[in-house]
């Protein structure tokens, strides 16, 4: 759910249900790293509600698009982390076929 204005798309608050610090904090990080963002922060309005509010203010682009780009960036980062991890594990498994070997 987006809380913004029709006249000014550059600032909005996005209210995301069923999410917590896990997604909000990573998104805050990716958004803050985007040069188009002037302000970004999140809050959890009530601890017993499963909801976060993410505030995005930009230099000119629509906040919605910037947030979408941040999600996209985060996904690319995740994919890279996964591929790198899988490769690292595979390398270890190939060099040490027997488990319970301490590599240290």
Partner 1 sequence: MSGKDKNLHNMSESESEQEGVDKEGIEWIMNLPDVPMKLPPHVELQRTRVECKADAPIHTDTIQYSGAFASMGFDNSLRLDNFRNNFKIEVIDLKEDDIEFDMIGIDPALANAFRRILISEVPTMAIEKVLFANNTSIVQDEVLAHRLGLVPIRVDPRLFKYSDKDAPNENNTIVFRLHACCERGKPRLTVTSKALTWLPNGSEFPLVSDKSVSNSKPKTYTSFSCSQNTLSKEFSNNPIGPKDSDIILARLGPGQEIELEAHAVKGMGKTHAKWSPVATAWYRMLPEVVLMEEIEDELAEELEKKCPVNVFDIEDIAGKKRATVARPRDCTLCRECIRGDAWEKRVALRRVKDHFIFKIESTGALPPEVLFTEAVKILEDKCERLIAELS
100 is a contact residue toward partner 1 (CB under 8 A): yes
CB nearer to partner 1: give 8 or 85.
85
Q: Tokens 């991890």 — which residue?
A: 85
Tell me how far, at minimum, the Cβ of 7 lies from partner 1, in Å.
20
Q: Which of 9, 4, 92, 8 is nearest to 53 (CA)?
A: 4
Contact 70, 25 (CB under 8 A): no
81 is a contact residue toward partner 1 (CB under 8 A): yes
16, containing H or E segment: strand 11-17
Q: How far apart are the C-alpha atoms of 33 and 95, rounded to whole Å?
A: 38
| Beta-ladder partners of 53 | 15, 43
What tokens appear for 85 in the block? 């991890």
43 is a contact residue toward partner 1 (CB under 8 A): no
CB nearer to partner 1: give 7 or 102.
102
37 is a contact residue toward partner 1 (CB under 8 A): yes
26 is a contact residue toward partner 1 (CB under 8 A): yes
- Note the residues at the interface with partner 1 (CB under 8 A): 2, 14, 16, 19-23, 25-30, 32-35, 37, 64, 67-68, 71-82, 84-89, 91-93, 96, 99-104
């Amino acid at each position: 759910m987006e809380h913004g204005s029709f006249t000014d798309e550059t600032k909005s608050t996005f209210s995301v249900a069923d999410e917590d610090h896990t997604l909000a904090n990573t998104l805050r990080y990716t958004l803050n790293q985007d040069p188009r963002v002037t302000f970004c922060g999140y809050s959890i309005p009530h601890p017993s509600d499963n909801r976060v509010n993410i505030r995005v203010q930009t230099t000119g682009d629509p906040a919605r698009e910037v947030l979408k780009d941040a999600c996209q960036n985060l996904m690319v980062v995740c994919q890279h982390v996964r591929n790198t991890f899988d490769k690292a594990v595979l390398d270890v498994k190939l060099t040490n076929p027997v488990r319970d070997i301490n590599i240290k």
